[in-house]
Amino acid sequence: MTPGVRELSGQMLAEPRPAPARDPRPAATRPLESEYRPRGALDLHRTVVFQRRGANDPTLVTAGPVIWRASRTPQGVATLALRATADGAVRAAAWGPGAAWALDQVPGLCGAHDEAEGFDATTHPLIADAHRRHPGLRLSRTDLVFDALASAIFEQKVTGLQAFAAWRRIVTWFGDRAPGPTPRPMFAPPSIDGWRHVPSWSWHRAGLEPPQSRAVVEAARRGEAIVRETLLAPDGPGRDRVLTSVRGVGPWTAAEARIRAFGDPDAVSVGDFHLAHHVGYALAGARTDDDGMLRLLAPWSGHRQRVIRLIGAAGLMEPRRAPRLHPEDHRDR
């Protein structure tokens, strides 16, 4: 059982405890609680932990059966704890000023808005098998546009290890400590204004390249308008037009933001270093380029992201042909 959480009458409750002397949070109080009952099978871990940006992401932590998520909601910082029950429900507890908003968002985070109507897995035997083996895979959405955009910018043109390490450092240094009895110190991302005021030397010390840091700051300058216009856009192409209007944001970054913020079932991250190779290997037995990937995914128009996620869940990845790249660390220069 996660420290600070106990079971009473089948509910998840917080044990109030004094905060450490250096902990800026008030003592943990009783959380707001709710229960979500999905309409069908739900793989909670595979659906929600997709939102994690690396194993040490300070915004999303797993501890035993509980998934902990820290976020900056429109109503303030919140910590959310999710646990699947034996009867298929999801118990949720939330702390902080944004607790009510976080609880209202739980169904979307768990894939409640993910509609598979029109998806035909039988078009390809490997996809049919993956769909059969992973019936609880859902496309999660956070509805937090700017956080999704910022994290996608961090991952532009660098290795995942570089991007995740930079994300962890900046969020820890400039985010807000997450409320509640988290299993380890967790942090919500900075506010839009906070992103804009990260000092230039901190980006460098975090290990983020200048093009990426400039793009985050440029996006933050228009942050409120970007969020508003993206939420009002009628579809994926409309959201792409808003997102790519930011200098330094291209189709790959826009697609990644749509996938995380909206659970877009058709988004394809064209320009990804590995994705086309994996899709080609899974569907055709050989690597391909972006154009070839789009041709292979065409039978599932409207559900191309769903197919990509099934490929990942099934482990249908092109085997490595070379050692992992270890980028040189320039932060002390």
61-90 pLDDT, tens digit each = 999 999 999 999 999 999 999 999 999 999
Q: What is the mean pLDDT of residues 256-262?
A: 97
**pLDDT score, position 28:** 65
**Tokens 């975090």 sit at which residue?**
206
Handedness of CA 166, 172, 174, 176 (dihedral sign): positive
Least confident of 25-39, 120-134, 308-322: 308-322
**pLDDT score, position 29:** 77
**pLDDT score, position 330:** 53
Burial tier of 54 (Cβ tally within 10 Å: 0-12, 13-18, 19+): middle
Q: What is the mean pLDDT of residues 19-41?
A: 78
**pLDDT score, position 298:** 98
CA distance 265 to 301: 9
Name the band, by pLDDT with cuts 50, 70 and 90, for residue 170: very high
Q: At residue 325, does pLDDT exceed 70?
A: no
Mean pLDDT of the chain, nearest integer:
90
CA distance 199 to 322: 37
Q: What is the mean pLDDT of residues 253-276?
A: 96
Comparing CA positions, the residue from 27, 14, 46 lying closest to residue 313 is: 46
Cα distances from 183 to residues 85, 276, 280, in angstroms, run 20, 37, 40
Q: What is the 3-state secondary structure (H, E, C) of 215-258?
A: HHHHHHHCHHHHHHHHHHCCCHHHHHHHHCCCCCCCHHHHHHHH
Is the model's pTM score more than 0.85?
yes
**pLDDT score, position 7:** 39
DSSP 50: G
pLDDT top residue among 159 and 213? 213
Burial tier of 225 (Cβ tally within 10 Å: 0-12, 13-18, 19+): exposed
Cα distances from 33 to residues 37, 196, 207, in angstroms, run 14, 34, 38
Cα distances from 155 to residues 103, 148, 164, in angstroms, run 28, 11, 8
Name the band, by pLDDT with cuts 50, 70 and 90, for residue 14: very low
**pLDDT score, position 15:** 35
**pLDDT score, position 157:** 84
Name the band, by pLDDT with cuts 50, 70 and 90, for residue 317: confident
Region at 56 (left for phi over 0; alpha for psi -120 to 50; beta for the rest): alpha
Q: How far apart are the first and last CA of the chain?
A: 44
Q: Specify whether the CB–CB gap between 28 and 180 falls below 8 A.
A: yes
Q: What is the mean pLDDT of residues 35-56?
A: 96
Q: What is the mean pLDDT of residues 266-283?
A: 95
Name the band, by pLDDT with cuts 50, 70 and 90, for residue 10: very low
Least confident of 114-118, 157-161, 288-292: 157-161
The H-or-E segment that residue 278 falls in is helix 275-284
Helices 251-262 & 236-243 angle (0-180, nearest 10): 120
Q: At residue 260, does pLDDT exceed 70?
A: yes
Q: At residue 318, does pLDDT exceed 80?
A: no
pLDDT top residue among 248 and 159? 248
**pLDDT score, position 321:** 60
**pLDDT score, position 316:** 78
Name the band, by pLDDT with cuts 50, 70 and 90, for residue 187: very high
CA distance 266 to 179: 35
Going from N- to C-terminal start, the domains of the chain cover: 145-313
Strands of 32-36's sheet in order across: 32-36, 90-95, 76-84, 66-73, 60-63
Name the band, by pLDDT with cuts 50, 70 and 90, for residue 4: very low
Cα distances from 184 to residues 16, 161, 193, in angstroms, run 16, 21, 26
Token pair belonging to 311: 């490929």
**Tokens 């999704």 sit at which residue?**
148
Name the band, by pLDDT with cuts 50, 70 and 90, for residue 3: very low
**Tokens 């972006």 sit at which residue?**
290
CA distance 170 to 236: 29
Least confident of 27-36, 49-58, 255-264, 266-275: 27-36
Domain 145-313 falls in which CATH fold? Endonuclease III; domain 1 (1.10.340)
